[in-house]
Amino acid sequence: MSVSDAFDEWARSGKDQGMEERHWHTAKHALARLPAESGDTVLDLGCGSGYAGRALRETKDVGRVYGVDAAPEMAHNARAYTDDPRVAFAVGDFEHLPFDDDSIDHCWSMEAFYYAQNPHTVLDELRRVLRPGGTFYCAVNRWEEHVHSHEWEELVGVPMLLWSEQQYREAFREAGFAVAGQDRIPDTETEIPAESEFPTEDWETRAAMVERYREYGTLLTVGVVPE
């Protein structure tokens, strides 16, 4: 199945909103760090339901947000969740962004980058559209060190990248970004049942679930375009 077919199906069945709710646990902390200023233009790469753009407009008064997603049904839902004329959504691919060179101040991406077929091409494309001093905030819940995320490719049924933390940093540098930081943001909100409830349908042990949410959480890598 293609990525866009898979996520169109998610959007049609309302799973985009459950995804938004889960991702918000850590996305809100990463978004709070995004150094966007009033009037800035922000790109949300693989925007899903578009919650990040809505939040950025409310909390940071950014001038414009563009969400890009390969799945038409996702973009359709995202449009329906806001009437803000300064938030727009386009169907498109990470590798061919419909923006001029140096036209975007910041790019945000949550749980989307590892679906890239050619991740180095995507980084080159971001480097092209971001202005000098612009940033790429790349948040993922699946990566090499996070052992509990390895089985997701099989569960979702689409190809997924599995880079290590170092591979993210190296690829960013190779594309011409400076790496301003990389850290794990714990999810402190997903409820973890008492020891006596384990094993559950999804988790063999409580320790594994604690590790998944409270220790690994979300990996955030921040790239900056040199001035």
Ligand X SMILES: C[S@@+](CC[C@H](N)C(=O)[O-])C[C@H]1O[C@@H](n2cnc3c(N)ncnc32)[C@H](O)[C@@H]1O
Residues of this chain that bind ligand X (CB under 6 A) = 3-4, 7, 19-20, 23, 27, 46-48, 68-71, 74, 93-94, 110-112, 115-116
Q: Please classify residue 96 by burial: count the beta carbons closer than 10 Å to its beta carbon, then call 0-12 exposed, 13-18 middle and 19+ buried.
A: exposed
Minimum Å distance from CB 110 to ligand X?
4
Minimum Å distance from CB 89 to ligand X?
11
Closer of 31 and 209 to ligand X (Cβ) = 31
Minimum Å distance from CB 45 to ligand X?
7
Task: Find the angle CA(156)-CA(160)-CA(163) to the nearest 5 degrees.
Answer: 140
Closer of 73 and 105 to ligand X (Cβ) = 73
Closer of 43 and 112 to ligand X (Cβ) = 112
Minimum Å distance from CB 186 to ligand X?
17
Closer of 158 and 206 to ligand X (Cβ) = 158
- R_g of the chain, CA atoms, integer Å: 17
Closer of 1 and 207 to ligand X (Cβ) = 1
78 closest CA partner among 112, 119, 115, 34: 112
Minimum Å distance from CB 207 to ligand X?
26
Dist CA 88 CA 187 (whole Å): 29
Closer of 41 and 49 to ligand X (Cβ) = 49
Closer of 115 and 136 to ligand X (Cβ) = 115
Minimum Å distance from CB 198 to ligand X?
27
Minimum Å distance from CB 183 to ligand X?
18
Q: Which residue is nearest to ligand X (CB)?
A: 48
